[in-house]
Amino acid sequence: MIQGNARILIVDDEHGICEMLSFLMRREGFIPLTAHDGKSALEMMDSEAPDAVLLDVRLPDINGMEILARSGEIDPNLPVVMITAYAEVQGAVQAMREGAHDYLSKPFDHHEVIRVVRRALSERRLKQRIEQLSGETEENAFLRQKMGPSDTILRLISDVKRVAGSDFSVLIQGESGVGKELVARAIHRSSPRANGPFIPVDCGAIPENLLESELFGYEKGAFTGANAQKIGKFEAAKGGTLFLDEISNMPFNSQAKLLRVIQEKVIYRIGSTKPVAIDVRMLAASNRDLQSLIDPGEFRHDLFFRLNDFTIKIPPLRERKDDLPYLAKRFLDATNEELKKSVTGFSKPALEALLYYHWPGNVRELRAVIRRAVLLADSTITMEHLELKSPPQPDLPTVANRIRNEPWKGLSLKEIVERTNLELEREVITEVLRQTGGNKAKAARILQVDYKTIHTKIKKLGISSD
């Protein structure tokens, strides 16, 4: 199903409402279908196979909540958005608990209607994709379950599947917290070496003077404190996979010794002249671009090419927001089970804040935020339960560039700072208003200020909110 060809069933006994919503759907490229009572709605769900439903709670024959329940029997993946002129928080919570995708109240905010429909269609598409992938290998299914069902993750899974059967060295690149070790383990567990050990080494956590003894091992008496022979990580990984995490932190001298091991496939324990043959597959990961470290002399170019038979790049969470609702729900469910709680989900402002937030700590940060929110919440996670480090901000020019490109000559430091802050505020608010379609209330929630403050700043800074 392509969103532009999506079929939207509108169920309302008011013909004017159906006409207005049909107009909105057609304007967005959707195909509207209409029904004015519950019986017709159920028949059309069965015969027309809509991709989403806008369903009035109060109908002349069948209650909307009953239709919601029966829609799941017709199509378990069909997203239903409840609409009513009698907006009550209690009714919204009940609808969400009964399986509604979302809740809208009359009179409609047109931008809000389209946003909710598009999100419902995206959720349906993800659910359908999960079903399509139900026959995939156990390891790939595990990776998708851990990282998300977006197209980005599916392409990543395809790369894992393509390279796993070889003995290629693989370089996994991505920011901290994106799941590099998960990908490394998936490669190992899908490879011919799956029955062998998977040995991870955090190159940034081991002091330089101990790294070589950790990797290569040592003989008894090789140095003070070496009271017995110890095998290193290379030997421990025999027949399996050695995963060198954050390899960009490996000292330059140690890089040369690692290169020799890869080339000669032998190691020498510290304190020994006897070579030990190794049989391992090398996987490495870095949160920095290794190629950019070559010219400054921080990373050896020959080692880079030895490790880089194949590269997998994991995008940060902010670049794959389709995975965020899925991951947030997964962490919510896991924490509910851990704490023996029954938090049902997220309020609209809370979900919007999660979607707009930059996530510098990626999936690891998301998990921590959700776990704390579930701990604090009683029924639904709201904005007050979220602890986000900073409000979301669009990409903006650096202060240095702004000063460089503006006529600051003759101004004092205080005047420059004041003017720069005003310009920065104007650009942040303008960008968030653009993202929310000019909705000041949403912008206020995203920026974590009250409505009066955002209204005052828009007026003060001369921002157009049309």
Q: How confident is the model at residue 86 (pLDDT cuts 50, 70, 90)?
A: low
Say whether both 161 and 237 belong to one domain: yes
Average pLDDT over residues 228-255: 92
Q: Considering the domain boundaries, does residue 394 fall inside one?
A: no
103, 132, 161 - which closes a domain: 132
The whole-number pLDDT of residue 374 equals 96
- The CATH number covering residue 280 comes to 3.40.50.300
Say whether both 329 and 440 belong to one domain: no
- The CATH number covering residue 438 comes to 1.10.10
Helices (H), 340-409: 348-356, 362-376, 399-404
Give the integer Cα–Cα distance in Å for 8 and 6. Answer: 6
313, 330, 361 - which closes a domain: 313
Strand residues in 253-321 grouped as ranges (E): 266-268, 275-277, 281-286, 310-313
Average pLDDT over residues 445-465: 77
How distant, in Å, are the alpha carbons of 381, 416, 428 from that of 349? 10, 35, 18
Cβ neighbors of 433 (< 8 A, separation 6 or more) are 439, 440, 443, 458, 463, 465
Q: Considering the domain boundaries, does residue 147 fall inside one?
A: yes
The whole-number pLDDT of residue 410 equals 60
Say whether both 186 and 294 belong to one domain: yes
Give the integer Cα–Cα distance in Å for 5 and 54. Answer: 16
Flag whether pLDDT at 2 surpasses 50: no
Give the integer Cα–Cα distance in Å for 435 and 55. Answer: 27
Flag whether pLDDT at 322 surpasses 50: yes
Flag whether pLDDT at 167 surpasses 60: yes
Measured in whole angstroms, the distance separating CA 267 from the mean position of its chain's CA atoms is: 40
Flag whether pLDDT at 279 surpasses 80: yes
The whole-number pLDDT of residue 184 equals 95
Say whether both 191 and 291 belong to one domain: yes
The whole-number pLDDT of residue 434 equals 79
Backbone phi and psi for residue 126, each to the nearest 5 degrees, phi listed first = -65, -40
The whole-number pLDDT of residue 80 equals 92
Answer with the residue of higher pLDDT: 351 or 407: 351
Flag whether pLDDT at 312 surpasses 90: yes
Flag whether pLDDT at 446 surpasses 80: no
Mean pLDDT of the chain: 84
For the stretch 197-230, pLDDT in tens is 999 999 878 887 788 889 999 998 888 888 898 9
Say whether both 35 and 124 belong to one domain: yes
3-state secondary structure of 17: helix
Average pLDDT over residues 171-183: 94
Amino acid at 58: R
For the stretch 359-413, pLDDT in tens is 989 999 999 999 999 999 999 999 889 988 654 444 444 455 555 555 555 666 6
Q: Report the run of H or E that residue 381 belongs to, with start and end.
A: strand 380-381
Give the integer Cα–Cα distance in Å for 161 and 150. Answer: 17
Cβ atoms 375, 335 nearer than 8 A: yes
Q: Considering the domain boundaries, does residue 392 fall inside one?
A: no
First to last CA, the chain: 33
Say whether both 213 and 108 belong to one domain: no
Say whether both 85 and 172 belong to one domain: no
Q: Structural domain tally of the chain?
A: 4
CA angle 354, 357, 359 (to 5 degrees): 100
The whole-number pLDDT of residue 139 equals 59
Average pLDDT over residues 112-128: 85
Flag whether pLDDT at 436 surpasses 60: yes
Say whether both 107 and 58 belong to one domain: yes
The whole-number pLDDT of residue 12 equals 92
Amino acid at 385: H
- The CATH number covering residue 369 comes to 1.10.8.60
Cβ atoms 119, 127 nearer than 8 A: no
Q: How confident is the model at residue 451 (pLDDT cuts 50, 70, 90)?
A: confident
How distant, in Å, are the alpha carbons of 171, 183, 217 from that of 139? 19, 10, 32
The whole-number pLDDT of residue 95 equals 67
Q: Considering the domain boundaries, does residue 29 fall inside one?
A: yes
The whole-number pLDDT of residue 265 equals 93
Say whether both 246 and 191 belong to one domain: yes
Q: How confident is the model at residue 133 (pLDDT cuts 50, 70, 90)?
A: low
Return the structure tokens found at 332.
């919510």
Answer with the residue of higher pLDDT: 20 or 442: 20
Cβ atoms 113, 81 nearer than 8 A: no
Residue 103 DSSP symbol: E
Answer with the residue of higher pLDDT: 88 or 178: 178
Q: Considering the domain boundaries, does residue 182 fall inside one?
A: yes
The whole-number pLDDT of residue 178 equals 94
Cβ atoms 284, 170 nearer than 8 A: yes
Flag whether pLDDT at 135 surpasses 70: no
313, 337, 367 - which closes a domain: 313
Give the integer Cα–Cα distance in Å for 59 and 452. Answer: 38
Among 7-11, 251-255, 257-261, 453-457, the minimum mean pLDDT is found in 453-457
The whole-number pLDDT of residue 138 equals 62
Range of the domain at 169: 138-313
The whole-number pLDDT of residue 391 equals 46
Q: How confident is the model at residue 431 (pLDDT cuts 50, 70, 90)?
A: confident
Measured in whole angstroms, the distance separating CA 259 from the mean position of its chain's CA atoms is: 35
Say whether both 211 and 82 belong to one domain: no
Whose structure tokens read 């799956």? 194
Q: Considering the domain boundaries, does residue 465 fall inside one?
A: no
Q: Report the run of H or E that residue 33 belongs to, with start and end.
A: strand 31-35
The whole-number pLDDT of residue 233 equals 94
Among 171-185, 234-248, 348-362, 413-427, the minimum mean pLDDT is found in 413-427
Residue 170 DSSP symbol: E
The whole-number pLDDT of residue 90 equals 54
Say whether both 143 and 128 belong to one domain: no
Average pLDDT over residues 343-371: 90
